C-alpha cells in the first residue's frame, strides 16, 4: 500500500497537477482506490467502446438502450443515447453502466424514431461526464451527433491547429476534432463536410454520425474496429457486434466494410467508399478477447475463431495432462478448442464471480490476494491431484496470473501448465485498446522462461504470431498484430501525444466520476 501511495503520488503529480492541496489529495486517494480496484479487477487489456444505432423505429431510444445493454462488455464508464424526431435532438448521458445511467423516464424523454448510443471506456480523455458520448454540437450544418469507437492517432496535432484558429473544445476526447473539422470545413452539405473531416483524421474509427433525419455509419479504411449492419422489419440497425442485434430480434445483414460509409436517410440506404483503399488491419484482439463469443464480427463467429485458436495452440504446444481448465470467461472457447484437439477432458476448475462490485470492507492483512479471490475461486474437487492445463487468452503484467496459479496450487493441482491462446503482448496499442505501457507488459522485458519462473508453473507456452494467423486464415494478411510484433499499420506522432489526459484540464483530471 505504501508503495502504491508513493507510486501514485509520483504519477499523479507528473500527470495532472503540481501540488498536493486538499482537493488533490482527495483525488490522489481516489486514484489509489481506482488503481487497487483496477489491478485486482482485471489483468486484461481494457475494453474500448460500443456503439449502436437504429433508423426508423417508433421505439428507437428503447431499442438503443437494449442494444447498449448487450454491448456493456465494451465499456462501462459512461453511457449515452441521442435521438431525433426530425425537429429536435434529444440527448441523455451519464457515468456508469447502462442500467445505472438510464431510467424509464430518461428513455421516454428521448423522442423520435432515430437514435444512436455509446458505451464508453476511456482511451483518450479521462473518464468524466463531459467526455461521455454521443457528442452533440450545433453548427452551420445543423446538429452533428457523433458516437465513436476507436482512437485517432493525429488528434493532438489537429486539435492544437484548430485551437490556434479559435476553436473552443468542450471535451478532452479525440472524437471532438471530427465535429470541429466538419463545422469549419466551409462546406454546406453535411455529407461532403463529413467526408472532408474524415479524410483529415488518421487512426481507428467505427463511427455513427447523426443529424435530424440521417444516420451515417462509417468504418475507417484499415477496418480496425468492427461494425455490423442489421434489419428489424423496416428499420435498419448498426452495432459494434451482432450480440446487440440478438437482444432486439434484429437480423444480421452484413459487416460494414473497411473504408465504407453507409447513409441511411428518408431516401433509403446508400453505400459510399470515399477513401483511398489501404491494406486492412482488423484488430486481432477483437477475436482473442474483446468481442463476445456469441457475436459475428469481421464476417466470422467469434466463438468459432476462439475454438480454432485453442485447437491450434494444442497442436503447437501439446502437453501431457489430466484436464484443461479455462480462466473464465474470455478463455472458455479457446480452452474448449484446446481440449477437443488434444483429447484432454475440459473441466471447470475455476469459477469467476459475476457479482463483484466495490467493497468497503477492509480485508484483514492476512487474507492475501484478496482482490483476486473476490473475482476467482478454484473448484478444488476438479483440480486436486491433477495435472492441469490452464488456458488463458493473454498475460499483461502477469501479477494476477501469478495469484491465480497460487490458488490452483492451494487447490491441490499436481502440475500446472499454462497455455496462452495469443502471442506475448509486448507493445501498447494506439488504436483504441487500453493496453499497459511497455514497461508494465511482462513479455516486453522478460523471456518466456523468465515469465514461467515468475508465475511458478511447470511449463508455459504462447501461440506464435504465425500459428495465430494460420488459425485465423479466413482473413489472411488482413490483421493488425502490432501489440505482438510492433508493426504498427499507421505511423504515429510523439509518444507524448498519447497520454490519456493530454487535454484534460487540472480540474477535470482526477474527477473520474
The site for ligand SF4 (CB under 6 A) is made up of 224, 283-285, 429, 431, 433, 480-483
CA distances from 301 to 87, 238, 288, 468 (A): 39, 17, 12, 16
**Local structure of 467: helix, strand or coil:** helix
Q: Which residues are registered as beta bridge partners of 283?
A: 480
**Integer Cα distance of 469 and 481 in angstroms:** 9
- Is residue 282 within 8 A of residue 290, CB to CB? The reply is no
Residue 287 per-residue DSSP state: I
Give me the least distance between CB of 306 and ligand SF4, in Å please: 15
In the complex with ligand SF4, the residue whose CB is nearer, 46 or 120, is: 46
Where do we find the cell 463476445? 292
Residue 53 φ then ψ, to 5°: -145, 150
Residue 501 catalytic?
no
Please say which residue, 94 or 489, places its beta carbon nearer to ligand SF4.
489
Q: Where are the beta strands (DSSP E) in 3-63?
A: 49-55
Sign (positive or negative) of CA dihedral 119, 124, 128, 133: negative
Of 61 and 334, nearer to ligand SF4 (C-beta) is 334
387 versus 438: smaller Cβ distance to ligand SF4: 438
CA–CA separation, 445 vs 426, rounded Å? 8
What is the DSSP secondary structure assignment for residue 68, as one 8-state letter?
A: H
CB of 402 to ligand SF4, least distance (A): 23
Nearest to 349 by CA among 410, 262, 400: 410
- Shortest Cβ distance from residue 156 to ligand SF4 (Å)? 18
Closest distance of CB 293 from ligand SF4, Å: 17
- Per-position DSSP letters for 137-185, written without gaps between them: EEETTEEEEEEEEEEETTHHHHHHHHHHTT---SSSSTTHHHHHHHHTS
Q: How far apart are CA 464 and CA 446, in angstroms?
A: 16
Report the C-alpha gap between 400 and 405 in whole angstroms. 9
User: Cβ of residue 49: shortest distance to ligand SF4, in angstroms?
Assistant: 13
Nearest distance in Å: CB 286, ligand SF4: 7
Residue 29 has phi, psi (to 5 degrees) of -70, -30
Selecting among 16, 43, 49, 429, the annotated active-site residue is 49
Q: Which is nearer to ligand SF4, 48 or 347 (CB)?
A: 48
For ligand SF4, the closer CB: 182 or 429: 429
Cβ closest to ligand SF4, residue 223 vs residue 411? 223
Q: How far apart are the first and last CA of the chain?
A: 23
Least distance to ligand SF4, CB of residue 175, Å: 17
Active site (catalytic) residues: 49
Amino acid at each position: 500500500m505504501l508503495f502504491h501511495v508513493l507510486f501514485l503520488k509520483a504519477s499523479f503529480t507528473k500527470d495532472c497537477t503540481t501540488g498536493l492541496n486538499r482537493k488533490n489529495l482527495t483525488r490522489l486517494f481516489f486514484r489509489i482506490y481506482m488503481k487497487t480496484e483496477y489491478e485486482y479487477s482485471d489483468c486484461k487489456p481494457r475494453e474500448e467502446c460500443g456503439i449502436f444505432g437504429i433508423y426508423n423505429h417508433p421505439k428507437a431510444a428503447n431499442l438503443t438502450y437494449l442494444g447498449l445493454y448487450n454491448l456493456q462488455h465494451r465499456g462501462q464508464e459512461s453511457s449515452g443515447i441521442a435521438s431525433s424526431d426530425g425537429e429536435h435532438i434529444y440527448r441523455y448521458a451519464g457515468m456508469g453502466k447502462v442500467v445505472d445511467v438510464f431510467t424509464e423516464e430518461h428513455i421516454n424523454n428521448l423522442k423520435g424514431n432515430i437514435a444512436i448510443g455509446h458505451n464508453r471506456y476511456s482511451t483518450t480523455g479521462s473518464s468524466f461526464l463531459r467526455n461521455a458520448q454521443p457528442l452533440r454540437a450545433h453548427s452551420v450544418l445543423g446538429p452533428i451527433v457523433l458516437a465513436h469507437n476507436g482512437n485517432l492517432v493525429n488528434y493532438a496535432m489537429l486539435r492544437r491547429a484548430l485551437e490556434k484558429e479559435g476553436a473552443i473544445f468542450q471535451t478532452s476526447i479525440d472524437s471532438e476534432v471530427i465535429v470541429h473539422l466538419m463545422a469549419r470545413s466551409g462546406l454546406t452539405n453535411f455529407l461532403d463536410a463529413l467526408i472532408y473531416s474524415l479524410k483529415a483524421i488518421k487512426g481507428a474509427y467505427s463511427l455513427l454520425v447523426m443529424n435530424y433525419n440521417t444516420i451515417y455509419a462509417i468504418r475507417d479504411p484499415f477496418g480496425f474496429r468492427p461494425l455490423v449492419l442489421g434489419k428489424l422489419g423496416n428499420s435498419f440497425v448498426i452495432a459494434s457486434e451482432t450480440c446487440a442485434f440478438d437482444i432486439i430480434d434484429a437480423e444480421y445483414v452484413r459487416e460494414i466494410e473497411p473504408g465504407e460509409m453507409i447513409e441511411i436517410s428518408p431516401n433509403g440506404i446508400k453505400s459510399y467508399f470515399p477513401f483511398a483503399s489501404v491494406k486492412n488491419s482488423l484488430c486481432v484482439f477483437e477475436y482473442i478477447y474483446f468481442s463476445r463469443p456469441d457475436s459475428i464480427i469481421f464476417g466470422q463467429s467469434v466463438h468459432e475463431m476462439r475454438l480454432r485458436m485453442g485447437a491450434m495452440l494444442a497442436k503447437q504446444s501439446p502437453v501431457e495432462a489430466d484436464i484443461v481448465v479455462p480462466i473464465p470467461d474470455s478463455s472458455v472457447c479457446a480452452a474448449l478448442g484446446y481440449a477437443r484437439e488434444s483429447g484432454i477432458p475440459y473441466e471447470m476448475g475455476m469459477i469467476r464471480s459475476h457479482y463483484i462490485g466495490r467493497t468497503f470492507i477492509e480485508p484483514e492483512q492476512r487474507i492475501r490476494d484478496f482482490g483476486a479471490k473476490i473475482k476467482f475461486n478454484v473448484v478444488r474437487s476438479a483440480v486436486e491431484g491433477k495435472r492441469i492445463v490452464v488456458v488463458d487468452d493473454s498475460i499483461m503484467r502477469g501479477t494476477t496470473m501469478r495469484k491465480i496459479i497460487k490458488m490452483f496450487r492451494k487447490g491441490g493441482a499436481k502440475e500446472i501448465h499454462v497455455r496462452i491462446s495469443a502471442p506475448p503482448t509486448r507493445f501498447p496499442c494506439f488504436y483504441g485498446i487500453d493496453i499497459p505501457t511497455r514497461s508494465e507488459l511482462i513479455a516486453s522485458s522478460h523471456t518466456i522462461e523468465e515469465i514461467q519462473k515468475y508465475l511458478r508453473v511447470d511449463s508455459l507456452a504462447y501461440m506464435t504470431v504465425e500459428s495465430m494467423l494460420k488459425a485465423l486464415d479466413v482473413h489472411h494478411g488482413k490483421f493488425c498484430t502490432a501489440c505482438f510484433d510492433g508493426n504498427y499499420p499507421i505511423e504515429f506522432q510523439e509518444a507524448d501525444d498519447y497520454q490519456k489526459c493530454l487535454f484534460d484540464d487540472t480540474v477535470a483530471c482526477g474527477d473520474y466520476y
